[in-house]
Amino acid sequence: MLLVEDNFGDVLLIRQALASEPYATDVRVARDGEQGLEILSDLQYKPDLVILDLNLPKLSGHTLLERSHIDAPVIIFSSSSNPDDLLRAFELGAREYVQKPTDLTEFTRQVSQIVRTWGRPEPIAAVAEA
Protein backbone atom coordinates (compact mmCIF):
# COMPACT_ATOMS: atom_id res chain seq x y z
CA MET A 1 0.00 0.00 0.00
CA LEU A 2 1.16 3.53 -0.73
CA LEU A 3 0.24 6.21 1.79
CA VAL A 4 0.72 9.79 0.57
CA GLU A 5 0.43 11.88 3.72
CA ASP A 6 2.46 14.82 5.04
CA ASN A 7 1.11 14.82 8.61
CA PHE A 8 3.44 12.66 10.71
CA GLY A 9 0.75 12.16 13.37
CA ASP A 10 -1.70 10.83 10.79
CA VAL A 11 0.95 8.49 9.39
CA LEU A 12 1.51 7.08 12.89
CA LEU A 13 -2.23 6.69 13.49
CA ILE A 14 -2.68 4.90 10.18
CA ARG A 15 0.22 2.55 10.92
CA GLN A 16 -1.28 1.81 14.37
CA ALA A 17 -4.67 1.08 12.83
CA LEU A 18 -3.09 -1.28 10.32
CA ALA A 19 -1.11 -3.07 13.04
CA SER A 20 -4.39 -4.19 14.61
CA GLU A 21 -5.57 -5.82 11.38
CA PRO A 22 -5.44 -9.64 11.10
CA TYR A 23 -3.04 -9.51 8.14
CA ALA A 24 0.31 -7.93 7.43
CA THR A 25 0.27 -4.73 5.38
CA ASP A 26 3.39 -3.36 3.76
CA VAL A 27 3.08 0.44 3.84
CA ARG A 28 5.27 2.73 1.80
CA VAL A 29 4.95 6.40 2.79
CA ALA A 30 5.39 9.47 0.62
CA ARG A 31 5.60 12.71 2.62
CA ASP A 32 4.54 15.03 -0.22
CA GLY A 33 2.92 14.89 -3.65
CA GLU A 34 6.21 15.06 -5.51
CA GLN A 35 7.60 12.05 -3.64
CA GLY A 36 4.32 10.20 -4.22
CA LEU A 37 4.55 10.86 -7.96
CA GLU A 38 8.16 9.67 -7.97
CA ILE A 39 7.24 6.42 -6.21
CA LEU A 40 4.33 5.81 -8.58
CA SER A 41 6.62 6.43 -11.57
CA ASP A 42 8.73 3.42 -10.56
CA LEU A 43 7.47 0.65 -12.87
CA GLN A 44 8.69 -1.98 -10.41
CA TYR A 45 6.36 -0.72 -7.66
CA LYS A 46 2.72 -1.77 -7.93
CA PRO A 47 0.69 -0.92 -4.82
CA ASP A 48 -2.58 -2.73 -4.15
CA LEU A 49 -4.05 0.42 -2.64
CA VAL A 50 -3.22 4.13 -2.49
CA ILE A 51 -4.42 6.29 0.39
CA LEU A 52 -4.01 9.91 -0.64
CA ASP A 53 -4.36 13.18 1.21
CA LEU A 54 -5.30 16.16 -0.96
CA ASN A 55 -3.53 18.94 0.94
CA LEU A 56 0.11 18.05 0.35
CA PRO A 57 3.31 20.07 0.00
CA LYS A 58 5.02 20.39 -3.40
CA LEU A 59 2.17 18.80 -5.40
CA SER A 60 -1.44 18.54 -4.29
CA GLY A 61 -3.26 15.24 -4.26
CA HIS A 62 -5.29 16.43 -7.25
CA THR A 63 -2.11 17.21 -9.22
CA LEU A 64 -0.64 13.83 -8.32
CA LEU A 65 -3.78 12.15 -9.69
CA GLU A 66 -3.59 14.25 -12.88
CA ARG A 67 0.05 13.39 -13.52
CA SER A 68 0.07 9.69 -12.72
CA HIS A 69 -1.59 6.54 -13.91
CA ILE A 70 -2.55 4.44 -10.90
CA ASP A 71 -3.90 0.94 -11.45
CA ALA A 72 -4.75 0.42 -7.78
CA PRO A 73 -7.82 1.86 -6.07
CA VAL A 74 -7.16 5.41 -4.84
CA ILE A 75 -8.92 6.39 -1.64
CA ILE A 76 -8.87 10.05 -0.66
CA PHE A 77 -8.44 10.35 3.10
CA SER A 78 -8.47 14.07 3.73
CA SER A 79 -9.60 16.67 6.23
CA SER A 80 -11.05 18.76 3.39
CA SER A 81 -14.83 19.05 3.41
CA ASN A 82 -14.94 21.14 0.23
CA PRO A 83 -17.47 19.55 -2.20
CA ASP A 84 -15.37 20.77 -5.15
CA ASP A 85 -12.40 18.78 -3.81
CA LEU A 86 -14.57 15.68 -3.62
CA LEU A 87 -15.96 16.11 -7.14
CA ARG A 88 -12.55 16.76 -8.65
CA ALA A 89 -11.02 13.72 -6.89
CA PHE A 90 -13.71 11.47 -8.38
CA GLU A 91 -13.25 13.01 -11.82
CA LEU A 92 -9.54 12.18 -11.57
CA GLY A 93 -10.19 8.53 -10.70
CA ALA A 94 -10.51 8.28 -6.93
CA ARG A 95 -12.79 5.44 -5.85
CA GLU A 96 -13.81 6.75 -2.44
CA TYR A 97 -13.54 9.95 -0.45
CA VAL A 98 -13.32 9.65 3.33
CA GLN A 99 -13.14 12.74 5.49
CA LYS A 100 -10.63 12.30 8.30
CA PRO A 101 -12.45 12.15 11.60
CA THR A 102 -11.09 14.07 14.57
CA ASP A 103 -11.96 11.33 17.06
CA LEU A 104 -9.13 8.81 17.49
CA THR A 105 -11.40 5.75 17.69
CA GLU A 106 -13.31 6.79 14.57
CA PHE A 107 -10.03 7.56 12.77
CA THR A 108 -8.81 4.00 13.46
CA ARG A 109 -12.14 2.53 12.38
CA GLN A 110 -12.10 4.48 9.12
CA VAL A 111 -8.55 3.36 8.25
CA SER A 112 -9.47 -0.27 8.95
CA GLN A 113 -12.59 0.07 6.81
CA ILE A 114 -10.63 1.55 3.90
CA VAL A 115 -8.09 -1.26 3.92
CA ARG A 116 -10.65 -4.03 4.37
CA THR A 117 -12.83 -2.68 1.58
CA TRP A 118 -10.22 -1.66 -0.97
CA GLY A 119 -6.97 -3.46 -0.15
CA ARG A 120 -6.12 -6.90 -1.39
CA PRO A 121 -4.59 -8.32 1.74
CA GLU A 122 -2.98 -11.68 1.78
CA PRO A 123 -3.69 -13.64 4.96
CA ILE A 124 -0.71 -14.36 7.13
CA ALA A 125 0.26 -17.96 6.43
CA ALA A 126 -0.64 -20.30 9.27
CA VAL A 127 2.17 -22.42 10.60
CA ALA A 128 1.36 -26.08 10.10
CA GLU A 129 1.59 -28.16 13.24
CA ALA A 130 3.62 -31.35 12.98
Cα–Cα nearest to 111, from 34, 58, 45, 53: 53
Distance of CA 65 to the CA centre of its chain: 13
Give the pLDDT confidence of 13-42 residue by residue, as tens digits.
Answer: 888 888 877 777 888 999 999 999 999 999
Quote the pTM value: 0.82
Distance (Å, whole) CA 50 – CA 38: 14
Cα atoms in the Cβ-side hemisphere of radius 13 Å centred on 40: 27
DSSP reduced 3-state for 96:
strand
Tens of pLDDT, residue by residue over 42-56, are: 989 999 889 999 999
CATH number belonging to the domain at 2-118, selected among 3.40.50.720, 3.40.50.2300, 3.30.2130.30, 2.60.120.1310: 3.40.50.2300
- Range with the poorest average pLDDT among 28-32, 73-77, 99-103: 99-103
For 113-125, how does the pLDDT look when each residue is reduced to its tens digit (9 = 90+)? 877 777 754 444 4
pLDDT of residue 17: 82
Sign of the torsion formed by the C-alpha atoms of 70, 73, 77 and 80: positive
Domain boundaries along the sequence of the chain: 2-118
Backbone angles phi, psi at 19, to 5 degrees: -65, -25
Does the structure show a pLDDT above 90 at 57? yes
Percent of the chain with pLDDT over 70: 91
CA 18 – CA 117 distance, rounded (Å): 13
